[in-house]
Structures are given as C-alpha cells and as structure tokens.
Amino acid sequence: MEVASKRRRELEAAVLDKVGEVISAVRSAQRVDQVICALHSLAVLLFPLDYSSLLSGSIDQRYRDQVLSAKVPSEEERWEWWQAFYHGAAYPTLARVLLLDVASNWLACFPLSARVHVYDVFFVRGLSSEVVQTLVPCLQQNASDGHDINYVLSNTERLLVHCLLENDGVLQMAREFCRSEDSISEWTKPTVARLAQMVASIPDKARLRAPVSLSSHLFFKQITIQLLSLAEKRDEKVLDKVSFFSKSDVDDALQFVGETFSRICRRGSADVLLSEISPRILRHVQSLLSSDIDSAVIDVFEAHPGSQFWLKMIEAIKDVYAVERISEQLLHHLVTEHASDVEAYWILWLLFHRTIRHQTSVRSMFVDKFVLWKTFPICCLRWILQFAVLECPPDSNSLTKGHSISGLVDTLQRLLAVWSKKEFVQSASMEQQTYVSAAVGLSLEKMSKEELDETKDVMHLILQGVSCRLESPNHLVRKMASGVALVFSKVIDPKNPLYLDDSCSSDIIDWEFGLATPDKGNLDTSDCTEKDVLKSKASILAPESDFNHTANRGMSNNVKSKTKKLSEFKIADPDEIIDPVTLNNEPVSDIDDDDDNASENSESSSDSSLQPYDLSDDDTDLKRKFSQLVDVVGALRKSDDADGVERALDVAENLVRASPDELRHVASDLVRTLVQVRCSDLAVEGEEESAEDKRQRALVALLVTCPFESLDTLNKLLYSPNVDISQRIMILDVMTDAAQELANAKTVKPKHRTGSLITSISESQPWFLPSGSGPPGATSWKEISDTGTLLNWSSRYERELPSKSGQIKRGKTRRWSLRSSSVQENQMEWSHNKFPVHAAAFMLPAMQGFDKKRHGVDLLDRDFVVLGKLIYMLGVCMKCAAMHPEASALAPPLLDLLRSREVSHHKEAYVRRAVLFAASCILVALHPSYVASSLVEGNLEVSKGLEWVRIWALHVVESDTDRECYTMAMTCLQLHSEMAFQASRALESVETTFKTRSVGLPSNLSQGTIKIPTHKGNIDFV
Amino acid sequence: MATIVKLQHISSFRGKGTRNLIREGMSKRPTPDPVAVLRGHRASVMDASFHPSRPLLFTGSADGELRIWDTVQHRTVSSACVHSAAHGIICVASSPFIGANKVISQGRDGTVKCWDIEDGGLSRNPSVTIKTNTYHFCKLSLVKKPSAHALQAEGHSYHDETEFRGTFDLESLDDSKEKAERGLTECSNVVRAGELSHEVEVWDLNTAERLVQLPQSSVGGSPNISTSERGMCMAVQAFLPTESQGSLNVLAGYEDGSMLWWDIRHPGVPVTSIKFHSEPVLSISIDESCRGGISGAADNKIVMFSLDHSMGSCVVKKEISLERPGISGTSIRPDGKIAATAGWDHRVRIYNYHKGNALAILKYHHATCNSVSYSSDSKLMASASEDRTVALWELYPPKT
C-alpha cells in the first residue's frame, strides 16, 4: 500500500513536470509546429495515437522527425499516466493553457489532423467529469488576457458539443460515477450535484451564436437520451450496482441522473425531459403488462431488471419542485399518448410507490396539490385518485376501491372543505372548479352510504357546496352542483337518483362538463348569461336591426292566427247549394235535387237535403276574453283562477300596445300585478316558459307605451322587500328590453310616389281590351261568352288576380283595392330613438338604492346576480342613449356607481363583467365633443371617471382570474383608446376655434388628461 | 238512362254554385253565418217569437222592452217598455189561435200582458193583464194544435172567444176544439199554506181567470203523485192533440229533471211521469203533429221523445249528448224537419228532427243563447241571446 502511494506520488510529480515542460514549450513556441510537437509529446504518453493520420498533416519535416522519434509507452504505463494526469492537478493546468492560450493563439493554424490528435484528444478521451469542469467555466471567459475571446468561446462550445453530445460524455460521466468505487478519488454528493448543475447550465451559458445543438431544447434532449440509455441498454455494470445498492442508498450514477433531471426541470425543460421519459416507461410497462397478466403484478415489476432504473429514478431526485414538474408533465404526456387507466396506474406506481410512502412532500403533492390546486384532464384525475387515494390497481377502466378507505375519506373531506366554500366558487377559475368538482364526484362515487354516515360533516359540506353553486349565474357551475348532487343521491339511495337539471338525465356524468381540455386552448364556458353579455358587447357598436320585430310581434301573431281561422271558411254561401230557388232557375231540373221539398208533407220523406254542415266545435270562444285592462288586472289578481290568469296574460300585451286612454291610470296597477303573478305556479307543466315570456312582453309593452308611470312602480318594486330575486331579475330584464325597444322605435312615413299621368296603349292591343297593368302574377284577360242571349252588346273579360301579400281575408268581406296592398311598399320606416327622454327615469331611481342593505334586499353581497343585471341594464341604457346629451348627463353618476369599490372589485366575476360592459357602454355613448369640452371646461368628474375606467381595465387585464373579464377589459381598453382618439380630434377643432376667436385656452385645461394606451406606452394628451 | 247521365253532365257545368256543391261535398261545409243580426236591445234578449202571418218578429229583453222587428227590412218597427225594467220580460208569444194581431208578454213582475198590434206598434195599454202573482223562470206556453187543424181553425178563432169564456169544462172542450185554443197554460209556484207548491195553472187569456191547477189540490185528496218533491216547474208546453178529443194536454218539466204529462180531464193525476234528465228541464217543444217533441235541460242532454196518446206513454226517440251542458231553449220547425236548440255555450244547434243527427253548430253569439224560434212559414229562425242581439238564420229553407 505504501509502495503504491509512493509510486503514485512519484508518478504525479512526473506528470506535473511533463505538463510544466509542455506548457513552457507552448508559451515559448515561435511556430505552430513547435506547439504541436509539445502537445504531442504529452499526448503520446496518455493516449494511443494514430500517427499516420497525424503525419499526413502538413507538419514541417524537422518536427515530424521529432514527433516520430517520441517514445511510445506501454499500455499499462499509459493507463497509469492517464490516471495521474486526470485525477491530479496536471489536467486543469494544461486545460487552462489549451483552452485559452493555444486556442486563441495557435489553434487556427493547426492542421485538422493535428487538432484532432494532439488537441481535442485531451478532452475527448479524458475523464468526462474533469473535462466538463474545465470546459464549462471557460464559457464565461471575459476578454481580459488579450485572448481572442470569440475564438476561445467558439472553440469551447465546439469542444462541448464534441465531448458531451457526440461522444456521449454525459453517459460516460454517469459510468465514471459507477466506477468511483475502485477509482482513486471518492465522489462526494456535492460534487455530483455541482457537476449536474454544470452540465445543465451549459445551454444558458452558451452564446447566442453557439451551435444549435447547444440550445436548451436539443441539448437537454440529447443528454436525457444518453442518461436514459442507462435504463434502455440495461448497462450491466450500472444496473448491477443499482440492484446492489438498492437496499441501502442510491448510488452516485443515479444520483447524477437525478440531479441532472432536477436541474433540467429547474431550468424549465421538464417537457423535453418527459417527452423522452414517458414513451420509454410506457413501452416498458406495456411490455410487462402484455407478457404477464395473471401473476401478481407487483412482483413482476419488482423483479424485472428493466424496472430497476425507474424504481430508483424518482427517489434520486431530491428536488421537490422537480418531482412535481416531472409528475405533472408525465401525466400530461400520458394523456397525449392515450395511456389506459391500468398502464397509467402502473407507471405511477413504478415511479412513485416508494417515495409516496416515505416522502410526505410527494404524498401531499399527489393528494393535495394535484387534486385541489392543479388542473389536469379528468382522466389524469382518475389516475391520481386511483394511485394516491385508493391505492390499488384498477380494473380494466374504472376506479376500484381498495381495502382501506381512510385515505379516501380524508381526501374527500379535504376536497369538500375547499369545494363547499363560497369563496372558491367566486374566485377559482372555471377549470379549477370543474376539476375539483370532478374530484369530489369521483371520490364520492366510491363511497358507500355507511361510510358516508360515519364521516362527520361530509353531508353537510356537500349540501352547502351544492346550494351555493345552484345560486350561481353561471350555467356550468350549476351543472357541477347538479352532478355532485346526483352522485350523492345515488350513494344515499341508488334507486332514487336526484336530477336537479333536466339536461343531465343519463346516469353517466360528464365530469368535464363539456369543457374542452386545456390542451386545445378552447375554454368556452357555454354560459347563458355570459353569452348575453358577450352578445350585447358585440353589438355595442352595431344596433340590433331586428328589434322592430319585437314591437310588432304580438300584433302580427294575433292577426296571423285570425287569418288562419278565417281562411278556413270558403267564400261561397253554402245555402246556395240546396236552395231550390237557384236550382229552379235552371232550364233542366237537377237530378240530385232533394225530393224532400217535393214531398213536403210526407213523413217518409228522405232527409238527403239536410246535409250536415261542418260540425267541428271548439271552446276557444267560450273562454272569457278580456277587452279591458281593468279586467286583465282583476284576472291577474285572482291567483286561484289559473285559466283566467293565463288568458289575461295572453291578451295583456296587445291591450297595452293598443294604448287605450285609461292605460295611464291602470299602468301602475298592471305593472304591479304583472310582476307579482306567479307564472310557474299557474302554467301547465312545460308551458311556464311561454307564460313567463308573455308576462315579460306585456311588461315591456307597458314600459314602452307608458314609460313614466310604469317605471315609477317598477323602480319601487325593484328595491321592495316583497319581491324575490327572480322578480328583481325579471324587472331588470324587462327594463333592458324596454330601453332597447324605445331606442329602436320605428315610425312609418308614407313615401311620396310619382306616377305617370298619361298611359300609353300599345299598338298591338285593341283599345277595348282592358289594360294589362296590374299586380304581378295576374293572368291575361279572357273574354267570357255570355250564354244567355244572342245579342250581346257588351264584351266581358275576366282574369285571375293573385292574392295580395298581406291581404287579410275577413270572412266574406273582401277588399278590392289596389291601394291596400301597396301601402306597405310605399311606406318607409324611420327609426327614431325615443329612449333619451326617458333615460333618466330608467336609470336614476334604479341607481339610488343599490348599496343599501334592507330586509330581503342585499345587492352587494347575496343578490349579486341582481347587481350584475342592474349594472348591465344601466349599461344598455347608456348605449341606447348614445350620442345624445342625456348620455353625457347620466354618465358621471353611473361612473360614480361603477367606481365604488364594492362594485368594481366585487368578488363575483359576474358583477365585474357587468361593470366592464357598462364602462364600455359609457365609452361608446359619450359624444367626443362632450368629452373634449369637459376637458376644456375642466369638468373633472368626467375626465377622472374615464381615466379610472382605463386604469381599472388595465388592472383587470393584468390581474383578474376570470378569462371573460380579461377579454372584456381588453375590449374596454380598445374602446377607450378609440374614444380618446376621437376626443383629441374634437379637442383640436376646439383649439382652432378658440384661436380664431383669439381666446386663450383656460389655464385649467392641463388638469384633464386622456391617456391613449398603445403598445409603445402611454401618450398623454393635454 | 242516357238522359240522366247527360243531365248530370250538364248540371255539373252549370255554374259556380254547383261547382261549390261538388267541392263542398268532398270536404266539410263551413257553417253559415246569420242572414241578419238585429241589434237594438239594451239588455239580454230573453225570448223571440215570429208573428204568425206577417213578417214581424217580437223580442223581449231583460229590461222589460218589447221590440217588434220587420224581418224583411231587418229594422225595428216599434219598441215599448211593457214590463218594469227591474223585472224584465221572460217570454213573448204569439199564435194564430189568439188572434193575428196580438202578442203576449210575460214579465218577471208576475204579470202576463196581451197586446194588440196596431199599425206601427203596440197598443198603448194591454188588452188583457193577468196578475198571476208568480215569480219564477218558467216561460208560458200557448196551446198548440196539430197543424192540420190549426190551418182550418184559423178563420174561426176570432168569434168564439165569448163561448170559451162562459163555461170551461172538459166536455165543452171536447165539443168544440176551437174553444180551447185560447186557453193559456202557465206554470206557477205560488206559495200557499206554508208549503211550496209547484203547480201548472191554466188561464183563460180573455177573462184573465185561472181555469185549472195541475195537480188539482181539491180532487180526491189523494196526492199519490206529488209534485212538490220534483221542485219548481221549469218548462211547460200545452197542446191539443187530436186523440184527446179536444181536451187540453200539458207537458211540464220540473227542477229534478222529470216531466209530467197532464191531461186536463184528470187534473189530479198525470197521464204519465218520465225522467229523461238529471238536471232541471228548461225547455220543452212539441211538434206540429203533437206526436213528439224535444226537451232541453241543464244537463248535457237533449232528448227527442215521442208521445203515444193511446197508451199515454212517452218514450225516448233519441238522446243526444252534448259536450257542454245547458239548453235554455228548443224549437221544432213547423214543417217538422229540423229542430233547433239554444245553448248556454253560445251555440245554436240544428238537428234533423226525424233522425236526430246533428246538422249544424252555429257559432255566432258570444253569450248564452236564451231561445230559438221558427217562423210559421219555416223559412226563418231567430235566436235570442244574452249578447243583446237577435240573429236571423236561413237554414235548409223549404221549397216554397
């Protein structure tokens, strides 16, 4: 032993001497050949060199002899020298010289063969771990010592690519760690970590112009492949050691793998890592599963040599963050590779079954983080629950319950604690909510009634969560509640499932709730109310053209039905058929004529003449028809007479639209009764919708025909404690509709038409023929021959006219007028916005009491849906009054309302969306000149409000959790910039007028600012 | 045979009307509209009656107004308030047997008034006023005779008044049929001696005296047929069948749905008692031959029945069930071909009187129909309704 150490020391000294010699030779070299010679003298001691190739290079004859004369040591000597060189201080010293001095001064002159054999060889054939340690720091060389830094760096990069990637340097390093047992130096854990860190840092240290293979994606991919080949190739040596050490500790090679992987993850390339790992492990598991299904699977996995690497790999990764990233990416990759439940379970088991038992962090990652705070596709959730919660292998494709349910109960309770909270419903993103709901549902499915009974507060929490979800304005959230409730009811009583929603009638619940997976980036939250907001948002700038339809809808419906009924009657008088008077006028007697009349007094007369008429009978006319509004009010109040209420609702809209004189007096009463009618109680099953619709239409009609009286009552009712939320929402809906209808009111004006006064008759036609003019579709004139007399003084013509469009046939009365049909064609419709007159009456009373909390009224907190609707209604009102002076007058109070903290920062996204909508409406509604003049006159209220809109929208864009809010805020910002642009133009024109009048701008103009957000930054307009 | 085919061929090209016939024969014929609607009453029209020979229509309304209409011009000839507005008219009646220029109005004020029709209107005062002291819903009935006799009797009816007035007994009726036709049958429910009596009274129209009570309380003292439990008398129809040798017969319908057939010769005991209806009988009509009739009630049935005078029995010929209950008036056309009913469901229904099948459902009125009535020439029908209108219809008009 002493001899060995003494010998080693001698050897090291010799190596150092030699290196010193070489270095001084290099330093003092005048020619490149001298450098090559010096390096060769060392290289020949360390590596087996191929001379022929070296000599083929163009070295000077003198030096070639010197090279050739060098003494070639034996294999054994060389190995000793190599050991001493790389494990000692010699290599770092030489490498420094090589990488800096030689590289910058001489390397460019090296012939290619020389570079390969006497320069690169020191790195390529060296000890990889040492090589890396010398190469990597070199990447960050500064240009200090007069070296050509560019060349140094590019050379280093070249060497790195050459060593690590082309020559599998990373794999060699791992092997070196395996061999460390019998090598001279002992690898300490920090060293391994430092090396892994170095390797992983290479892509970041490389310059921009470095080879592509050093870019993080390709580089990490390469080294991952190299490291995974440890598992792939079943490297005997490594795996022997792995299995040998499996009982005690992870060995250095795996530690290096683990460290490298965790560094890769830390550097954000977990997906690259897993894109290599997951197919391999999936293939491995698939091969095992297909080969042997019957025997106990766990044993198969444990015993298979290929599994060893995977079993230990995660254990080797100490970094919790990296483990988390790896698990996440693994799950996502397994989804894209369509792994089955069984495969996924075994993959998770293979990788994590040890760590999950021993490391609490991993355990909590699975049962806490992955279930509660992250979102995965639903199938991942199933795998996670199966692996971490149920802890047993699954049946073919369904969750299976293991023996112990404590984990399940724990998880369920934790899930429910989160799920049932109102704050979670308010603040969590939709994907998160879906995910957690699915987790609750899936784990609830595995519970039995007895187990549920044993748990403390599970039922209570479920009820709480369901009830707070059912109140949500979001359709999807309600669906989650009904889904969970269905599962819950099935657990409690499988025979009597509870369907809260008509749509989910099947037994299998779609836990994704129709939500697309996040991979597709398509998260349409199919929410009805959102759609409403969206739709109206889209139509902020484009007025809805089909609105006049609503106004006439009631009327035309009625007319239509009447026409339909009447058209069943034929024109002919049926009595004519039997009437013998007409028959007797004929020269011949009719064979079919009734003999009844002939035998008037005979009892045996046949009654063939008594041909029955249409005997169909219905009782529509028997129902009492309401023709007076007072009757309608009376009938609506009799809530016990459902039939009467229904009929009253039927006629209410038409009666109101007819706007009789007494309307003003009964409007208030009618509004009140209409609001308080309980449509759902009265209407027949399945017809609640139409009754509700009729009621709303009647209310809209009232608001349109008689705005002030109706609004007075409606606004009182809005904040009255006697109405419930649905009625409040209905009131606001009705007001919204009415505002839109008023804004799109149409008036009909006759169009002046000029016609030719003199008609020309074509030559081809005889003068006595009637003119061919007439409505299109008329047939040509035909002469009728008169059979009666021979002498015929007049010619008679007939033709058939098509029935006119819109012609109404009322019984036997026919209107023969060309005018009637063309009236509609000649009329032009003028739209006239009637709304601004009423805008204040619509908006101001409704804005007054929104923040007061009274009995049954709590808009800011409990009834947030009403608040959202209210703000939406106000926004629509603003839009309807757009560009009118009233809009300018009403904008400041509305902005005040929106600015109040409890509104603009409301917990519910629904309210925030409404605020964004209303703010956008204000931006659209304000006339630019008004904005400009308010700036000029120093109207701070407006300018501050608008500035607040901008800032707040920016804030929402940056920090809001709700996706919808984000897009709406973007639109709002866009509208703001447009408004600011228009205002600045208006301001310019104001300035010019001021100048021409030689009036100086008021000094306080500078107080108002409009900021235009652009991508470059904010430009302030003064 | 060839000619028939040819005629058919011709007839099918005759004109529009025939084409309609052919077309309508395939599909359902739409129900006709009224030929005229008489408006002018200010309250529910309770009854309508045609003048036996002239084109006049008498209508009485619930506010006591009696109107006379010209059925050709469809105009009001005259109008008079003949009963107090508070009580109104229940019934107007006219018959060839009481005189061509007379009309009778029955008010709910307990009076029956007989009016002379002068040119241009009613007489200022009624020729006869009978204070019956009855307050009820039953319309009076004038005696109906088989039509063959009625035509013959028409000429004699005026100068026999005095004879009829003198003595009224069953034998004298038997002797001269003409004498009885001025008898007036009426039902009453006079409260006597503390118990409700539901009786039919027969009054002489000329003397304004009550002739007989049915059932006659004095006879026998054996009320084996008690009418009190039958409830009020709701409808009566008096007729003089040829088989009864001139003795007056009365059909009376009661509140419990039963009908009694009285022969005035046996005022104590009805000829027969039948119960076709489950609800109060509201209307009874007898055809011109007096061999059958039709009855309507508050239930959802119309019953056509036939009277067998030799057996003294009344049997159901046809029972028609209705969708909606309530027939307030019935009428059989004088030619006996069709019958009409006035329904609470606003409809007038037409039936083939012989076969009993439905012919038409006339939807015009938008309120309860109170009565229907046919003109003596069978051409017109009038329907009176609570909607204050009288509609004139021409359905299946007979060949003149």
The domain that holds A848 is classified in CATH as 1.25.40.720
pLDDT tier for residue A738 given thresholds of 50, 70 and 90: very high
Highest mean pLDDT of the ranges A446-450, A500-504, B339-343: B339-343
Does residue A675 fall inside a structural domain? yes
- Chain B residues close to A622, C-beta within 8 Å: 324, 345-346
pLDDT tier for residue A170 given thresholds of 50, 70 and 90: confident
pLDDT tier for residue A395 given thresholds of 50, 70 and 90: low
CA closest to B379 among chain A residues: A579
Q: Does A542 touch chain B (CB under 8 A)?
A: no
Q: Does B155 touch chain A (CB under 8 A)?
A: no
pLDDT tier for residue A179 given thresholds of 50, 70 and 90: low
Q: Which CATH number fits domain B31-136+369-399: 2.70.50.60, 2.130.10.10, 3.40.50.620, 3.30.460.10?
A: 2.130.10.10
Between A911 and B22, where is the model more confident? A911
Long-range CB contacts (within 8 A, 24+) of B262-266: B262/B200, B262/B214, B262/B215, B264/B170, B264/B173, B264/B202, B264/B212, B264/B214, B265/B170
* pLDDT (average), residues A901-921: 88
Picking from A581, A609, A614, the nearest residue to B29 by CB comes out as A614
Contact (CB<8Å) B17/A598 = no
> Which residue of A577, A613, A624 to mutate against B (max B Cβ within 10 Å)?
A613
The nearest CA of chain A is from the CA of B346 a distance in Å of 7
Highest mean pLDDT of the ranges A811-825, B5-19, B126-140, B148-162: B126-140
Domain B139-148+184-217+229-321's class? mainly beta
Picking from A580, A592, A811, the nearest residue to B399 by CB comes out as A580
Residues A181 and A229 in one domain: yes
Highest mean pLDDT of the ranges A307-311, A330-334, A537-541, A680-684: A330-334
CA A817 to chain centre: 59
The nearest CA of chain B is from the CA of A688 a distance in Å of 28
Residues A498 and A541 in one domain: no
* pLDDT (average), residues A675-692: 75
pLDDT, one tens digit per residue, over B215-256 is 776 544 445 556 677 888 889 898 888 887 778 888 999 889
Residues A541 and A496 in one domain: no
Residues near B310 by beta carbon (within 8 Å), at least 6 away in sequence: B243
Contact (CB<8Å) B396/A609 = yes
The nearest CA of chain A is from the CA of B365 a distance in Å of 10
* pLDDT (average), residues A970-984: 90
Residues A466 and A568 in one domain: no
- The pLDDT mean for chain B works out to 78
Q: Can you give the pLDDT at residue B218?
A: 54
pLDDT, one tens digit per residue, over A434-459 is 888 888 888 888 878 777 777 778 88
Distance separating alpha carbons of residues A732 and A711, to the nearest angstrom: 11
* pLDDT (average), residues A129-158: 76
Q: How far lies B249's CA from each of B208, B229, B242, in Å?
A: 20, 22, 10
pLDDT, one tens digit per residue, over A527-540 is 334 444 444 443 43
pLDDT tier for residue B37 given thresholds of 50, 70 and 90: very high
Contact (CB<8Å) B346/A622 = yes
The nearest CA of chain B is from the CA of A591 a distance in Å of 7
* pLDDT (average), residues B366-372: 93
What is the number of other CB atoms lying within 10 angstroms of the CB of residue B384? Answer: 31
Distance separating alpha carbons of residues A920 and A956, to the nearest angstrom: 14
- Chain B residues close to A590, C-beta within 8 Å: 7, 11
Q: Is the pLDDT of residue A508 over 70?
A: no
Contact (CB<8Å) A610/B359 = yes
Residues near A124 by beta carbon (within 8 Å), at least 6 away in sequence: A162, A163, A167
Q: Can you give the pLDDT at residue B176?
A: 30
Q: Does A566 touch chain B (CB under 8 A)?
A: no
Picking from A575, A597, A610, the nearest residue to B352 by CB comes out as A610
Contact (CB<8Å) B32/A575 = yes
Between chain A and chain B, the number of residue pairs with CB atoms below 8 A apart is: 104
CB of A378 within 8 A of CB of A416? no
Distance separating alpha carbons of residues B316 and A169, to the nearest angstrom: 118
Q: Can you give the pLDDT at residue A340?
A: 83
Residues near A560 by beta carbon (within 8 Å), at least 6 away in sequence: none
* pLDDT (average), residues B364-368: 90
Closest CA to B385 of B318, B329, B338: B329
Q: Can you give the pLDDT at residue A576?
A: 41
The model's pTM is 0.55
Highest mean pLDDT of the ranges A416-430, A841-855, B179-193, B308-322: B308-322
* pLDDT (average), residues A588-592: 40
Do B31-136+369-399 and B139-148+184-217+229-321 have matching folds?
A: yes
Contact (CB<8Å) A607/B354 = yes
Q: Does B32 touch chain A (CB under 8 A)?
A: yes
Asked which of A195, A217, A239 is the last residue of a domain, the reply is: A239
Distance separating alpha carbons of residues B392 and B395, to the nearest angstrom: 10
Contact (CB<8Å) A607/B324 = no
Q: Can you give the pLDDT at residue A761?
A: 58
* pLDDT (average), residues A592-604: 42
Residues A44 and A121 in one domain: yes
Residues A429 and A550 in one domain: no
Q: Can you give the pLDDT at residue B371?
A: 95
Asked which of A862, A891, A926 is the last residue of a domain, the reply is: A862
Q: Does B366 touch chain A (CB under 8 A)?
A: yes
ipTM of this complex prediction, to 2 decimal places: 0.72
Q: Can you give the pLDDT at residue A595?
A: 42
User: How far from each other are the two terminal CA atoms of chain A, in whole angstroms?
Assistant: 89
Does residue A776 fall inside a structural domain? no
Distance separating alpha carbons of residues A447 and A454, to the nearest angstrom: 11
Q: Does B399 touch chain A (CB under 8 A)?
A: yes
- Chain A residues close to B28, C-beta within 8 Å: 613-616
Q: Which of residues 158-187 of A touch B (CB under 8 A)?
A: none
Residues A14 and A91 in one domain: yes
Q: Can you give the pLDDT at residue B349?
A: 94
Residues A92 and A197 in one domain: yes
Domain ranges of chain B: 31-136+369-399, 139-148+184-217+229-321
Q: Is the pLDDT of residue B391 over 80?
A: yes
Residues A478 and A548 in one domain: no
CA closest to A566 among chain B residues: B30
- The pLDDT mean for chain A works out to 74
Distance separating alpha carbons of residues B294 and B251, to the nearest angstrom: 11
Q: Does A593 touch chain B (CB under 8 A)?
A: no
Residues A453 and A575 in one domain: no
pLDDT tier for residue A387 given thresholds of 50, 70 and 90: confident
Q: Does B395 touch chain A (CB under 8 A)?
A: yes
Residues A558 and A424 in one domain: no
- Chain A residues close to B323, C-beta within 8 Å: 617, 619
pLDDT, one tens digit per residue, over B77-114 is 999 999 999 999 999 998 888 877 889 999 988 888 98
What is the number of other CB atoms lying within 10 angstroms of the CB of residue B185? Answer: 27
- What residue numbers bound the domain in which A654 lies? 535-579+624-750+825-862
Contact (CB<8Å) B398/A597 = yes
Q: How many domains does chain A have?
A: 3
The nearest CA of chain A is from the CA of B291 a distance in Å of 12
Contact (CB<8Å) B357/A577 = no
Residues A500 and A547 in one domain: no
pLDDT, one tens digit per residue, over B255-276 is 899 999 988 888 888 889 999 9
Q: Can you give the pLDDT at residue A1008?
A: 47
Asked which of A239, A274, A308 is the last residue of a domain, the reply is: A239
- Chain A residues close to B29, C-beta within 8 Å: 574, 577, 611-614
- Chain A residues close to B400, C-beta within 8 Å: 581
